[in-house]
Structure 1
Amino acid sequence: MRFEVGQTVVRRYRRGPWRTWAQPMRVLRDDDAGLLLWAPEGGEFARLIDVDGKTTHDISPDRMRDPKLKLHTWRGNNVLILMPPGAGYSVWWFFQGGVFTGWYVNLEKPYERQADGVETTDLVLDIVATPDRRWEWKDTDEFAEFIGHPLYFDSAGAAEIQAEADRLTKLIDSGAFPFDDTHTGFRPDPGWPLPRFEPGALDR
């Protein structure tokens, strides 16, 4: 079942039994090309954090002390996210003040649909690219650190993730879709409300 255009859905990450991230987003499109979502600055999101203030960027969830999803406000940019069906990644377009500022490629497992949104698992390795397609790796140390961890990936899995990331960098270099002009001039309707969690959404 596909989502309705204009509907608010929750995009979630999971790591083993833990939900590590949740963010309500507006559906702009849901078709064979993928699920296209919008999250403006000022909207809500939640991330897993423990009593010491550590997140999954600092430590694996199994080593956290009493981790809980904590509500935050999305700051710094507006983001358009494309999740192609069956893909091991999502592509993000960042905007500030209505100006496109670059792409972010998040390596992740193909998403699974839920009644109120989608869920995936972050694969740690990321790519950041400027509007003129100069790109660099992100979180490479973290990626290497988690190879062999039972909640993450083994050496073979890491090699597959890296191979997919290498394929995507070639698309960036060539300016092929989705790293062409697609969506770079996107402008949201100023009347759209900020996406927020429905009551109980963080508990589901």
Structure 2
Amino acid sequence: MRFEAGQIVVRRYRRGPWRTWAQPMRVVRDDDAGLLLWAPEGGEFARLVDVDGRNTHDVSPDLMRDPKLTLHHWRGNDVLILMPPAAGWSVWWFFRDGAFTGWYINLEKPFVRQRDGVETTDLVLDIVVTPDRQWEWKDTDEFAAFTGHPLYFGSAAAAEIRAEGDRLIKLVEAGEFPFDDTFTGFRPSPDWPLPRFPEGSLG
């Protein structure tokens, strides 16, 4: 089952029994290269937040007292996300005022299609890449803290996640796809309104 260009789908993260993130995004295309999604600044998203305001960057969901998916609005940039089939990562293109500002590599499990979107599990470790392909690891302390947690990954899996990041860094340094000029000039259709959650799709 593939999605239609222009369709709104929900990109979700799961951690054990908890949905930790949900974001409605517009389908740019869905083909053998992967699912390409767009979310502009101001669109809706939801994240798992505890009663004290902490989220999954701060604490694992099993230690939250009363976690709930809480509605927010995406701020700071527009984002284009490519989720290749069977890949352990997605790559994000960030834009501000129409100008490309860099890539973001989100290490994650291969996505699973659902009726109204896709679901994956975030693997915590990320890589930030500037337009001139300078890179740095992100969330390394969080990655180390969650290694060995039963809801996350053991040390062997953590080594595999980092190795996948190292492989992608080589593509960055070589300027190979997806870290070439592909999509850096992307412009959304001016007819697209802000993506919002379809009724009943937040959870």
TM-score for both structures, normalised by structure 1: 0.99
Q: CA deviation at 1:17?
A: 0.2
User: Residue 54 of structure 1 aligns with which residue?
Assistant: 54
| Distance (whole Å) between structure 1 residues aligned to residue 115 and residue 93 of structure 2 | 26
Q: CA deviation at 1:65?
A: 1.3
Q: Unaligned stretches of 5+ in structure 1?
A: none
User: Residue 18 of structure 1 aligns with which residue?
Assistant: 18
Q: Unaligned stretches of 5+ in structure 2?
A: none
- The residue type paired with residue 168 of structure 1 is L
What CA deviation, in whole Å up to 9, does each residue of 1:136-185 have, x standing for no partner? 00000000111110000001100100100000000000000000000000
Q: CA deviation at 1:198?
A: 1.1
Secondary structure of 1:201's match? coil
- The residue type paired with residue 104 of structure 1 is Y
- The residue type paired with residue 10 of structure 1 is V
| Distance (whole Å) between structure 1 residues aligned to residue 49 and residue 138 of structure 2 | 21
Question: Number of residue pairs matched?
Answer: 203
| Distance (whole Å) between structure 1 residues aligned to residue 152 and residue 121 of structure 2 | 9
Q: CA deviation at 1:190?
A: 1.7
- The residue type paired with residue 50 of structure 2 is D
User: Residue 125 of structure 1 aligns with which residue?
Assistant: 125
Q: CA deviation at 1:9?
A: 0.1
| Distance (whole Å) between structure 2 residues aligned to residue 191 and residue 9 of structure 1 | 17
Q: How does 1:153-168 map to 2 (within 5 A)?
A: 153-168=153-168
User: Residue 8 of structure 1 aligns with which residue?
Assistant: 8
CA RMSD of aligned residues (A): 0.5
| Distance (whole Å) between structure 1 residues aligned to residue 199 and residue 169 of structure 2 | 40
| Distance (whole Å) between structure 2 residues aligned to residue 61 and residue 85 of structure 1 | 28
Q: How does 1:37-48 map to 2 (within 5 A)?
A: 37-48=37-48
| Distance (whole Å) between structure 2 residues aligned to residue 201 and residue 147 of structure 1 | 31
- The residue type paired with residue 51 of structure 1 is V
TM-score for both structures, normalised by structure 2: 0.99
Question: Which segment is superposed worse, 168-177 or 188-197?
Answer: 188-197
